[in-house]
Structure 1
């Protein structure tokens, strides 16, 4: 481009010079009368001018071309390019400033990239869900914690309206209030996520610059379930334990006092009372054992005995232990295995889990019912599935069945000798194995428990 301008400029100068030389030639010819000599002198002068002019202007054009090239690189986002500083003062000063500009821009871009990386790392690694919503209600940003919490992929939320992404009405209403009023709104809600109910603290704040209208809102969803659980456990633990201990202790005391009565002579009644005392003692022992087990599992020092375990073999051993219990209710238990069912786990704890889940199925199944126990191996996971045709669990109760002392059918649970801690133990041991639980149930038709174990542990 610069060379093109230079050639145009030289053409104009050459034209002007040619006219001047022709005029000078005519004057010299009139005074000297030697046409050939005058012509040679004029042509030589013209050619010398062109030669000198070309090299002089070329020295200015080349650095200018470099400057243009450098500006084009800046426009394309390449701020690392540099040019040489030549001798002419004007072009050298221009190139010097361009080099300084490139260095400054490169530092600015690098600093901006570092700050962007830091911000992205912060957003992706905070333990709360973070959303950025524009004033039209479209999701512009959602961190990984949000996607993990709600089991949503990026394609399911990106640039979509929050009304279609977030299904809980309380959450939608809280966000709507913040958008409409352009004010900070805070609300606590209970969300059913999978098999659990999660306590979520919602904080919505408008994005404003000065007194202008909001450009969007930031939504922070903080999971405070563990804090709520701790608070609830502290409040209810003494009451629950006292309630569970009340029946066996009362029975033990009452029957012991009766047996101590000197007028009690009937041996059959004495034997019956002694049997009841034994049964209540066993129930009390089971409750204490489960409380100690749960306390041990929840402690920071709890460790699993990791080794390769075949889940199908653990199931067979478990069913042998529970065979008599199932026969008492004429329950038909069928089992099966498919694929490779070996995982890394603790065999003792796995058997403890399976006993609790299958025992629950026996307790809550009707006489002459059926239970199907199945283990199936997949490339990265192995699934343990227990399906029964028992009383079923309502949708509202499913998130609560893993709470301590919670029973779907309280009378049947106590009469069976259950402590109400079995599924709480199962949940904690599943988490210790880095697995997850899925529960599907329908009232009057039965329940399906599925525990999904990773094949190997990191």
Structure 2
């Protein structure tokens, strides 16, 4: 036929038939994509998605063997979600990237049509879903990537035990199915990560905030809500901090927000923050340690940041306690150490000079022993106080007669006291208490009463009991206390104004109060003011009810 000559009827019909066939194929693929999109959107997990993908693939091509696999880029492994083999569904497995067609498609991101497997591909040594005894190699197949942009999420593969079972049109059809699979895989991945993130955030004891690139709070965990004391009406998610209605926030939340401003500014500029401490002074003093990390996309673009708050108040208290104890130990141990050394040097000098007077030598030796005992008691007290602060103070309960214990303590101290000690105690007040610890409390209260009242005055110790508990009162006629001093007496290291000229580290009342509290009791002080004397009191329950199997030793 010459150029320009019109087509005959037969060629023209062939062209029209070809166009019609192409249009029909396009319409079929569009219908397939729409139907698959609707079905895949309802998939709740990867197993359900596999069944949807298999059903749709089997509608348009041979799917004697059908494989759905995902690729983990971090570990370079392929996870076969599920596989269908001759109508039987099988669980998948995991294998590293190799030299097969699946690995080739993952590496290249391009589909692969295999018309004759024996001629084009490596021998198949393992086929998921086929028992080793009946291993049958596929004769043809088509493998297409599941893509998200340029990233390969996984593959779909249809295989047949017949050679040349697939054409180029099948590659396009399976590719269209893979597009819908990619959309659903991304959705399921996001949902799974969101659930995992929620689970992690919910179990975290530290407060955590997530901010976007603008510095807006987009998520926070339960600990953060409790720390900030915020509800949904007070916090607007997605709104930058400076635009929040901070005047409606609680005082603690406003303090934290002010500390967050420079941290969020640092995140906006792509800079992290490590272990910045802030003190919250609204209400009870608290110390928070704050750290922030920048979040970036795989391409390096700034996406926001994560801010973590950790309450380190207890840790800082323990550090201050350690510092206080060292300071108190150095202050209080200097005197006995100096006295011990002085008497030891004097004793050594006298012995070297031939001194043989037993009374003189005995006096020096006795002084060394006395101050050594005092030093030992001081170290024991410091150790006990550190145990109290750490919650490790042992309380070993046993039958104790409080009246008898008071009489024993007062009789032991009366011999050296220059005061009158009067005891008003019931004949017997019995309970389950730690006798050694209660003795420490009584000796401390009585020692203070003798120390801070004039010689010749009277110190009265009384013990009374009712059906619920016992109350001990130690009253002196000494320096007395005013209202503000009464409120602070049991703080660690506190010394009332009138007591600051006396030796001591301010630990006795603090430790005694801790012992009584560990017994479930209460300690307090009463005074009409300076010069009016003081009364120190504590109560103890008469009966301690133990649950079955509960050990006698408690820890405060």
Which TM-score applies when normalising by structure 1?
A: 0.46
Q: Select the structure that is richer in strand.
A: 2
Q: Select the structure that is richer in helix.
A: 1
Which TM-score applies when normalising by structure 2?
A: 0.39
